[in-house]
Amino acid sequence: MMKAKITQLSLALAIAGLSAMNAYAADSAIQSVNVLEFNDKNVLFVGDSKSGNIIAYETKAAENPKKGMGYGLFNFSGDIEKLLGVKSGDYLIKDLAVHPVSNEAYIALSVIDNGKYQPKIVIANQAGDVRLMDLDSKHSKLSVKHAPAKEFMFYDKLNSRSLTFTDIEYHKGKLYISGLSNQDFKSSLRVADYPFNGESSFTSVEIYHAMHGQNETRAPIRTLTIANFNGEDHIIAAYTCTPLVTIPLSDLKDGKHITGKTVAELGYGNTPLDMISFTGQDMKGNKFPAILVTHKERQANVLPVQGLAAASALTTPAGFAPAGFTGYSAPLSGLSQVADQDDYHIAALRRNPESGKLELVSYLKNLFFRLSDFQSEYEMPNYSYTESQKKSMKPTQDMMKKDEGYPTE
Amino acid sequence: MKAIQLNKWGFILLAMAFNAMAAGANPEVVAIYPRADLLPENTLKFQVRFNVPMREGSFLKHIHLESESGEVMNGVFFDNVYELWSDDHRQITLLVDPGRVKTGLKENLKRGRAFVAGQKYRLSVLGSWQSLQGQPLKQIYTKTFKAVPEDLESPDVRLIKTGLLSTGTTEALSITFPEPLDEQQIQEYVRIVRGKAPDHVELVRGKFTIESFGKALKFVPQTPWEARQVYTLRIDTRLEDLASNNLQAKFDRPINEQKSELYNSQFYYQVLNQK
């Protein structure tokens, strides 16, 4: 009899323990971190796919003595593992964003803890200091969950729907949010005001692709940015099978289907990673607004906005090469995450191909490579620069060396 | 004495269950969707459901696809940057590279579709896949299927058949679709409502059971069907067939083609008749 009581007691305790865990999970501000995006000041938007919320944190810009320098943290995975007390393989990297004021890098992680993936945001600076962000710090929330969960109570099966946020873009007081559903193959583009007012609008975007004339099709948006051309702001959206599409913001209307204009196909068998609007510069020093599209498999594309404005819609298949307005390529590849860092840099996470370590590094805009990634004859002890090289190439190399933290002669 | 022994066994079983939970028993695959054996060659997605939350990252390493002759098929599933897990991390959606499924995209023109009508395929989930606790799958799980000709049409709502309601009873209502539909979506998108559609409806509580791998459905109401009520089958028009044609539109649609009447509607309604 006594044992029976103990059994009941232990079961009751176990259930109480589980309930306490659930209560804790429900109380915390955030259940997952998938996408990070800063506004132009201190607000960090976090796409929490698990709860279906966008959470806006009011961050404080920390002192960062090396602000403006490039990142060169070559054992960043070691730094993360030491900070969190976890093994490699027990966490996933979800996104990277750079604080526009402090220039610190924010890295979204999913960490296995207590039988669940738990959200964490690690903050790093160029000096290699790392710390955890307090996810219960001051924030506001917007729910963009599509379906009311209560309806599923009729079923004895668990609801398996999830919406994964794929990108968030902040532009002039509004958030443009793209998502990918595990159930419906379609676009989901939401627009919400910030500060949040509890509402978001939803537009279903279709795209053209070419075959027997033109077809319309549904497809999820992978990454997006906003550019102004022809006197109007446009969304530039890259799709999962890499068509590049432009949509005037004025076309986005709640609950409507619209069709974007396909201006390029950036190549098959590839997934676009991210898009960054920046100021491009050509060899003659002319500056122009441009968009950098980085890819999982291919080299990056630089798309001058002027070219996008003039691009005509793709109507016919053009062989297997990339087609339409593809700009020019930049030698960026093998990156897992990229983010706009400052006027001169983009920050990126990449794996060292030999050690497998995660690296947090910066690339100079318009150059798009790291000098120290290459062994060149210029670095040989007996190499002497010609007079013309001293004028044209050496200053650039010296600038890159300094930025990458190496001594110059 | 007997009662004490039973309690002892109960205690031991409970202890074993807790130990298994702590150590993490080997996870299992519960189902691979679509469960049908015949799949259109433009099938867009598969779902693998596990009994416990699984680890994310490099999902393609744990998936193996081969033709009937044993030829390994690579490049079929889309290597998405995001893995499409359900919120409970027990189910992953595998998308067949949409560039190959859709007609006219470069990948489709160059490599064609992965599946060819008449051929058989084996999709295996490998033992290397680990649970969150770090335990590998108990065994290899395999689904064998045969490809049938492509499906380029939306499910025809006029061919959705419903049984007659037996008022005063909680007898099951049967619903039959013209073709197998996505089982996950059926759970979410099909409802029975009462009242005047579309504006004054209320959900009828009850339980659905999916039959024939998504081609049919049974609904048992919690309370008896009432003779004076109007009951209606309500389906969200985003409901897709196995090739992702939904009730609103085909997956691929020529631009000048006339759009379906359901193109901009959220729901399709069909009034249910009483016996």
Domain assignment present for B32: yes
Look at the alpha carbons of B72, B77, B80, B85 in this order and tell me if their dihedral is positive or negative. negative
Note whether A200 and A327 are same-domain residues: yes
pLDDT of residue B192: 94
More confident call, B68 vs A207: B68
Domain assignment present for B260: yes
ipTM: 0.80
Statement: residue B3 has pLDDT above 80: no
Note whether A208 and A108 are same-domain residues: no
Domains held by chain B: number: 2
Q: Does A151 touch chain B (CB under 8 A)?
A: yes
Report CB contact under 8 Å: A182, B254: no
Q: Which of B119, B148, B177 is the last residue of a domain?
A: B148
Note whether B112 and B173 are same-domain residues: no
Domains held by chain A: number: 3
Note whether B92 and B32 are same-domain residues: yes
pLDDT of residue A9: 42
DSSP states of A141-203: EEE--SS-GGGGGG-SSPP---EEEEEEEEETTEEEEEEEESS--S--EEEEESS--S-EEEE
Q: Which of B148, B174, B205 is the last residue of a domain?
A: B148
Instruction: Looking at the complex, report in whole angstroms how far the Cα of residue B85 sits from the nearest Cα belonging to chain A.
Output: 7
pLDDT of residue B24: 61
Which residues fall within 8 angstroms of residue A157, CB to CB, at 6 or more apart? B187
* DSSP annotation of A66: T
pLDDT of residue B7: 54
| pLDDT tens-digit series, residues B143-173 | 999 999 999 999 999 999 999 999 999 999 9
Note whether A138 and A206 are same-domain residues: no
Domain assignment present for A16: no
Report CB contact under 8 Å: B238, A186: yes
Report CB contact under 8 Å: B91, A186: no
Q: Which of B148, B169, B203 is the last residue of a domain?
A: B148
Domain assignment present for B115: yes
Domain assignment present for B196: yes
| pLDDT tens-digit series, residues B71-118 | 999 888 887 778 889 888 999 999 887 767 666 665 666 667 889 999
Note whether A136 and A214 are same-domain residues: no
Q: Does A50 touch chain B (CB under 8 A)?
A: yes
Instruction: Looking at the complex, report in whole angstroms how far the Cα of residue A64 sits from the nearest Cα belonging to chain B.
Output: 32
pLDDT of residue A197: 93
Instruction: Looking at the complex, report in whole angstroms how far the Cα of residue B22 sits from the nearest Cα belonging to chain A.
Output: 9
Note whether A351 and A378 are same-domain residues: no
Note whether A377 and A364 are same-domain residues: no
Q: Does B253 touch chain A (CB under 8 A)?
A: yes
pLDDT of residue A215: 65
Q: Which of A310, A333, A356 is the last residue of a domain?
A: A333
Instruction: Looking at the complex, report in whole angstroms how far the Cα of residue A400 sits from the nearest Cα belonging to chain B.
Output: 31
| pLDDT tens-digit series, residues A239-259 | 766 678 899 999 888 877 787
Q: Which of A281, A309, A333 is the last residue of a domain?
A: A333
Which residues fall within 8 angstroms of residue B229, CB to CB, at 6 or more apart? B194, B195
Instruction: Looking at the complex, report in whole angstroms how far the Cα of residue B185 sits from the nearest Cα belonging to chain A.
Output: 7
Kindly report the average pLDDT of chain B as a whole number.
87
Q: Does A157 touch chain B (CB under 8 A)?
A: yes
Statement: residue B20 has pLDDT above 70: no
Note whether B129 and B173 are same-domain residues: no
Report CB contact under 8 Å: B3, A320: no
Stretches in chain A below the pLDDT threshold 50: 1-27, 147-158, 210-213
Q: Does A85 touch chain B (CB under 8 A)?
A: no
Name A141's bridge partners.
Answer: A55
Total-model pTM: 0.85
Note whether A52 and A115 are same-domain residues: yes
Q: Does B13 touch chain A (CB under 8 A)?
A: no
Domain assignment present for A10: no
Site from A109, A207, A241, A337 to mutate, B interface, most B CB atoms within 10 angstroms: A241
pLDDT confidence band for B257 (50 / 70 / 90) = confident
CATH number for B178: 2.60.40.1220
| pLDDT tens-digit series, residues B218-247 | 999 999 999 999 999 999 999 999 999 999
Note whether B174 and B130 are same-domain residues: no
Note whether A118 and A73 are same-domain residues: yes
Q: Does B56 touch chain A (CB under 8 A)?
A: yes
Note whether A129 and A227 are same-domain residues: no
CB A341 within 8 A of CB A103: yes
Domain assignment present for B17: no
pLDDT of residue B107: 62
3-state secondary structure of B2: helix
Which residue from A269, A51, A75, A275 is spatially nearest to A142, judged by alpha carbons?
A: A51
**pLDDT above 70: percentage of residues in chain B:** 86
Q: Which residues of B220-253 are buried (b: 16+ CB within 10 A; e: fewer)?
A: ebeeebeeeeebbbbbbbbbbbbbbbbbbbbbbb
Statement: residue B9 has pLDDT above 60: no
Exposed (0-12), middle (13-18) or buried (19+): which is B95, by Cβ within 10 Å?
buried
Domain assignment present for A324: yes
Statement: residue B4 has pLDDT above 50: no
Statement: residue B67 has pLDDT above 50: yes
Note whether B110 and B223 are same-domain residues: no
pLDDT of residue A214: 59
Note whether A252 and A270 are same-domain residues: yes
Give contacts of B238 with chain A, Cβ < 8 Å. Answer: 184, 186
Q: Does B42 touch chain A (CB under 8 A)?
A: no
Phi, psi of B167 (to 5 degrees): -65, 150
Residue-range definition of the domain harbouring residue A82: 30-143+336-369
Domain assignment present for B162: yes
pLDDT of residue B263: 84
Q: Does A316 touch chain B (CB under 8 A)?
A: no
Note whether A121 and A38 are same-domain residues: yes
Give contacts of A6 with chain B, Cβ < 8 Å. Answer: 11
Note whether A324 and A361 are same-domain residues: no
pLDDT of residue A325: 82
Note whether B131 and B59 are same-domain residues: yes
Note whether B142 and B211 are same-domain residues: no
Statement: residue B256 has pLDDT above 80: no
Residue-range definition of the domain harbouring residue B228: 157-271
